[in-house]
Structure 1
Amino acid sequence: MMENKYPHLFQPIILGGTLFRNRIFAAPTGFMDSNRFGELPSEAIAYYERKAKGGAASVCIGDLTVDSKLGRIAKDVPIDDPHNFVMFNRITNAVRNQGAVCSAELCHAGMFAARSSGITGEASRGLAYSPIECVKDGRIILPMTEEMIWDAIGKFAAAADYAKRAGFGMVTLHGGHGWLLTQFMSPQINTRTDKWGGPSIENRSRFAIEVCKAIRKVCGPNFPIEYRFSGSEVCEGGYGIEEGIAFAKQLEGYCDLLHVSAGNHESEAFTVTSPDMFMADGVNVTYAAEIKKHVKTPVATVGALDDPALMEEIIASGQADVVEIARGLICDPDLPVKVRTGRENDVRKCMRCLSCFSSIMSNGQFYCAINPEAGRELESRYEIPPAQSKKVLVAGGGIAGMEAALTCAKRGHHVILCEKTRRLGGALRCEEKVPFKVHLSEYLDQQERKIAESGIEVRLNTEVTPEYAASVQADVIIAALGARPVKPCIPGIDNSNVMSAEEAYVAAEKTGQRVVILGAGLVGVELAIFLAWQGKTVDIVEMTDHMNDGGHVHHMRGVKMQLKQHNIGVHLSTKAEEITAHGVRCTTPEGERFFEADSVLYAVGQRPLRDEGMALNECAPEFYQIADCVAPKDIMNATSVAYSIARNIGRD
């Protein structure tokens, strides 16, 4: 018999007569690359199939709108459009063939549907419907009539019937985070005086129950229904866990799985729904655990889950029956199969940097900071032709250099990896002591370990000069030299009380109690949070009129909450003129101001080691300069560029 370290996690479960192979479900994530008719491309099929191939028991296709005329938002995919039937069949077939159950997340935006209308995504006139009449964001929200309520219930049922016929093995009702089902549940929003609302929990639950009953009627008793809702909205004015428990008790007997999330997308609680790096692993499990005490229906939990020991404990202790993972399976879709086969140390753990969510907003794709195949599942689906083996010299052992070296080694090349310092990991090693960057440190350690096991020849304390590169006689050189902190030209910058952000991360104990940081990019603001966690008083001085999120919109939400929570002053349009032994003299729109400080730290940008990289250009027949030594960006850029270039070397 095989020894199973996680017997509860890999115990099958039966829901609504359907067998699920384990307790790890891929939580719903939408695929935003649909065309104007709401049709998904082949890339979406590969994206969802990849999760099933990795061992998840259920893969949920997110953001499927049941009413493309009155309930759609942004690029939600219409499941009420008959033209999409073949597309859905292709998705469900791909997931099913990998042994997973494919679930359809059924959504209705309610009061938020006014942002777009119709399957063409045309701009609406600001008109939307919800349980009550109100005005939101300048839009007119009209109350749903009795006829409209029953019509919406019918739309959910029709969508479920459509989903079943299209090959979906389950439906997930999105009753959380602020959508229409939540709007009926919310005591703050639903103040109707009829049977569909008011103070009575029975009345506010009626819409959800009728939706479940209607689906049961058309799909039969052996078609599982998962109901997703927020156990608590965790925000001012929102309902708490007591209301979540009461609602769960109302749903007893009407669905097969209570999927307990948290938060509301319309508030700062977004980072509760999708816990950021400042929060603990499994931070939202408490809501599912409380609800499970009061119901017999199986309960699922979600949020910041990818540690197998923690997930096993959640199931074993009875806090939940199922764990649902979204970002963790984007970061490593093979998490279930790796854990089951005793390779949990190989799991690539999500850093919760929210690059994936920010990327889908800006690029329409889920790109992951540390999984270069995310968003490229279709092109990675099949093996490419074998590479002609070459001798590859990788100069620089940071994020990009390590990924390039590993990818080249997998392709059969002889790889020499040189790093001028005593260890691999690059400049990001300076953040090893930062509590909320623990998963970054784990990733760097994991990459270092993979390199040691791969047969790559590692040469530490070795700077790659043109002379050294020529002596190696490589066929290919990849320059991944990185960048160095920019030192601003300010009087007093060389004072003994001044450090770079990199130096401060390494030796935070050498900074004083009062700190001023020059620069409000992510490096500066994250450093401010790190120091504030140690009880220091921190002010940030930024000469522009905004903080620079570097394209990480969602991560900046969590950052701003931390800045507020720890009373970190952010002073925009403020230029440092002089640093003294006692602080920084600045000019502001209101005039001159002096910020007292024991330590002054600068985080004003990075200088790419471009010239140092270009000096290696003539040292091998093939030469590639990548990542920060071309232009400093972020981990996602470094990883994806390194992977793509290295993957094609020798592909003649």
Structure 2
Amino acid sequence: MSFEKLFSPIKIRELELRNRVVMSAMGTHESAASEDGRMVTDKLIAYHVARAKGGCGLNTIEVCSVDAASAPTGFLSIADDRYIPGMKKLCSAVHAAGGRVAVQLWQGGLAVASDPQAQILLPSDMPLSPEYTVPGITEERIQSVIEAFGQAARRVVEAGIDVIEFHCAHNYLPHSFLSGGINRRTDGWGGSFENRKKFPLACIQAIRANMPEGMPLFMRIDCQDDMLEGGLTIEEVIDFCKCAGDAGVDVLNISRGNILTAATVYEVAPVDIPHGFNVEPAARIRRETGLLTMPCGRINTPEMAEDILMQDKADLVVMARAQLADPEFCNKAKAGKLNSIKYCIGCDQGCYDYFCRCLEDPSLEHITCLRNPAVLEEETMALRPAPQAKKVLIAGGGIAGIEAADALYKRGHHPILCEAGDTLGGQFVLAGAAPRKGDFQRAAYMAAENIRDLGVEIRTNTPVTPALIAAEKPDAVIIAIGSKPIIPNIPGADSGCVVESHKLLAQKDVSAGKAVVIGGGLVGMEVAEFLAGKGSSVTVVEMKDSVLGELGQLRKIGTHMAMAQEDIQVLVNTTCKEIRADEVIVEQDGKERMLAADLVVMAIGSKPVPSQDLQDTCAEAGIPCYVVGDALAAPRLALNAIHEAYRAALSI
């Protein structure tokens, strides 16, 4: 597939982009490391340069505060002239790499609350607790913020930036004014839709007045408000976008989500949300406004992007996390090297979850990515040629072993990947058998195909043993043999009706009228959905007071939304006491109850597969040995396994 439309140029006003791929703004938290916590850093420049060199058509710098009093730390700012030099330096570097740059102008509304020193600005009074209500913005501050947008645009132009994007989505102040679900004002800035449009339109006019005629203006806008009473309808959004077009907006970046409700799941949509979920709303908005349009949201393959453009549903395509996962995404797709792309799987572990953690934990500098440990460490963690080629024996053909082999090969080493079973991919493949997680399975298969394409030596049905290490005499060993299930000491746990969770997910044909799943972690809930999808009535038994404890916020929301559609009952604060032929005895709140069960699935966790004999063999022979992933400690996230494997490959 040639992806001719995706990689064709497009001209917007006087700016020509080399292709239709846009990396939209993504918070990195990297600016927290700067002098005042709001400036461009060298790491941020290297991050954007890598994506420009990788072929991206337009890099959008993350949200930039326009108003100094409400500018939180950990987010970029353009609220003062002192921020111009950093922006200029970033822009020049991206231009030298062949790319183009957009800056997203932002007033964060409620979202700036992550910094207690930042002023929260809302259109009208909002109670945050019984003791505290955030007062609505005053008329004077309304005018000052409008002016701030205009002055921010002036600074962006002075920095040599190619595109300005106005953020009018996700509960930030312009969207909050526009939405009837948030704006409760009774003066000329609220009430009717005509009044609610005034503030964002005034911001657009102030921005446009400070831009050259030939410079494009983009706008990020929600296609609708979900789960928000009185919120925006798509008809209102279309009406507003027509007005925005008249005011000087050229391109609509169609998004979705708000932080006031569970609809926040749509902002950085996890694997639970369908691919391209904004495409059809964006296509309608495009038809009815006549404006250039680009949808975002779970568009992670070049095939999908090309199809959207060829069906004339959009003019550009937002592929942001796709380029977190692989900065060379565009170049690889254009060259047809599809197996070599490290595809975003929508896990949210390194991007959204890490960003939230960064706001609370100063030891975490910035976001990362499960598929790409070098995010924002493009210089410090680059795969540079090794000083000396070495033979490296890798035990385990799961995703950690595959990624270690890939990194080692690219550094010039000779990896030998040994897998005890007959296929590669390990638990990543099994995870892909769970509902909505096909991206995991596809990523594992393509990663395996990639190392085959490279010519990596792969030996299946070959467990690594002390004898194999002695025979091969490798220069280094990486142990990535994963974990095995914990089987609890419960009467009846060895009966015929009991199956371990991973074995169940590996089966294609499963039939059970009534099933009980012991364990309400991620794997347990995936098993519950897997069985419910095949017609079973499922009860999940969890000792703790909640399920899905290891999941981040958005994946947890997505999973709960899906579970609500299935025949799944969850019992928390409940202990399994005994398993019998057709029932499970549990205790909840000091009382025993019986659960009918044709099938019982154990999903209470895992422990590392023992590898001390391999480690001892390496120590005796003086061979450097690296234990990674669940083989080191279990259970953990795939992000941990891949990052440890990558660092091991860098160390050899």
**TM-score of the pair, normalised by structure 2:** 0.93
Q: Which amino acid aligns with 2:639?
A: M
Residues matched between the structures, number: 636
Please tell me whether the aligned partners of residues 359 and 366 of structure 1 are also in contact (alpha carbons under 8 angstroms).
Answer: yes
Residue pairs, 1:96-495, within 5 angstroms: 96-116=95-115, 122=117, 128-137=120-129, 139-199=132-192, 201-237=193-229, 238-254=231-247, 255-355=249-349, 356-362=351-357, 363-380=364-381, 384=384, 386-495=386-495
* Candidates 13, 18, 38, aligned match of 2:15: 18
Q: Which amino acid aligns with 2:629?
A: A
Q: Say whether 1:647 aligns with 2:644.
A: no
Q: 1:482 & 1:449 partners in 2: Cα distance?
A: 21
Distance 1:5 1:176, change over 3 A: same
Q: 1:225 offset after TM fit, Å?
A: 1.1
Q: Which amino acid aligns with 1:31?
A: T
Q: Which amino acid aligns with 1:147?
A: E
Q: What root-mean-square deviation, in Å, do the aligned CA atoms of Structure 1 and Structure 2 show? A: 2.1
Q: 626-635 vs 433-442, which deviates more?
A: 433-442
Q: 2:547 & 2:40 partners in 1: Cα distance?
A: 35
* Candidates 4, 9, 17, aligned match of 2:6: 9
Is the partner of 2:450 in helix, strand or coil? helix
Q: 2:455 & 2:208 partners in 1: Cα distance?
A: 57
Q: Which amino acid aligns with 2:183?
A: N
Aligned to 2:360: none
Structure 1: state its 5+ residue gaps. none
Distance 1:183 1:241, change over 3 A: same
Distance 1:278 1:115, change over 3 A: closer
Distance 1:581 1:375, change over 3 A: farther
Q: Which amino acid aligns with 2:217?
A: I
Please tell me whether the aligned partners of residues 55 and 99 of structure 2 are also in contact (alpha carbons under 8 angstroms).
Answer: yes
Q: 1:213 & 1:468 partners in 2: Cα distance?
A: 71
Distance 1:114 1:422, change over 3 A: closer
Q: 1:302 & 1:293 partners in 2: Cα distance?
A: 17
- Cα distance per residue 1:16-46 (max 9 Å; x no partner): 3211111110011122131453234322111
Q: 1:188 & 1:94 partners in 2: Cα distance?
A: 42
- Cα distance per residue 1:310-360 (max 9 Å; x no partner): 212222222111111221111122222222222234322211111121122
Please tell me whether the aligned partners of residues 525 and 548 of structure 2 are also in contact (alpha carbons under 8 angstroms).
Answer: no
Q: 1:280 & 1:99 partners in 2: Cα distance?
A: 33
- Cα distance per residue 1:71-92 (max 9 Å; x no partner): 3346322211333332222222
Q: 1:516 & 1:24 partners in 2: Cα distance?
A: 46
Please tell me whether the aligned partners of residues 403 and 639 of structure 1 are also in contact (alpha carbons under 8 angstroms).
Answer: yes
Q: 1:574 offset after TM fit, Å?
A: 0.9
**TM-score of the pair, normalised by structure 1:** 0.93
Please tell me whether the aligned partners of residues 358 and 551 of structure 1 are also in contact (alpha carbons under 8 angstroms).
Answer: no
Please tell me whether the aligned partners of residues 293 and 314 of structure 2 are also in contact (alpha carbons under 8 angstroms).
Answer: yes
Aligned to 1:630: 632
Please tell me whether the aligned partners of residues 331 and 349 of structure 1 are also in contact (alpha carbons under 8 angstroms).
Answer: yes
Distance 1:114 1:457, change over 3 A: closer
Please tell me whether the aligned partners of residues 60 and 102 of structure 2 are also in contact (alpha carbons under 8 angstroms).
Answer: yes
Q: 1:272 offset after TM fit, Å?
A: 1.9
Q: 1:612 & 1:419 partners in 2: Cα distance?
A: 17
Q: Which amino acid aligns with 1:253?
A: D
Q: 1:420 offset after TM fit, Å?
A: 1.0
Q: 1:256 offset after TM fit, Å?
A: 1.1
Please tell me whether the aligned partners of residues 27 and 355 of structure 2 are also in contact (alpha carbons under 8 angstroms).
Answer: no
- Cα distance per residue 1:143-184 (max 9 Å; x no partner): 333322221110011111111112221111110011100111
Distance 1:165 1:282, change over 3 A: same
Q: 1:287 & 1:137 partners in 2: Cα distance?
A: 35
Q: 2:553 & 2:622 partners in 1: Cα distance?
A: 40
Is the partner of 1:280 in helix, strand or coil? coil
Is the partner of 2:246 in helix, strand or coil? coil
Q: 1:236 & 1:640 partners in 2: Cα distance?
A: 39
Q: Say whether 1:28 aligns with 2:25.
A: yes
Aligned to 2:56: 56
Structure 2: state its 5+ residue gaps. 358-363
Please tell me whether the aligned partners of residues 521 and 604 of structure 1 are also in contact (alpha carbons under 8 angstroms).
Answer: yes
Q: Which amino acid aligns with 1:190?
A: N
Q: 1:192 & 1:107 partners in 2: Cα distance?
A: 22
Is the partner of 2:90 in helix, strand or coil? helix
Q: 2:313 & 2:590 partners in 1: Cα distance?
A: 55
Aligned to 1:82: 81
- Cα distance per residue 1:592-617 (max 9 Å; x no partner): 22222221111111110233543443
Instruction: Provide the identity percentage.
Output: 31
Q: Which amino acid aligns with 2:293?
A: V
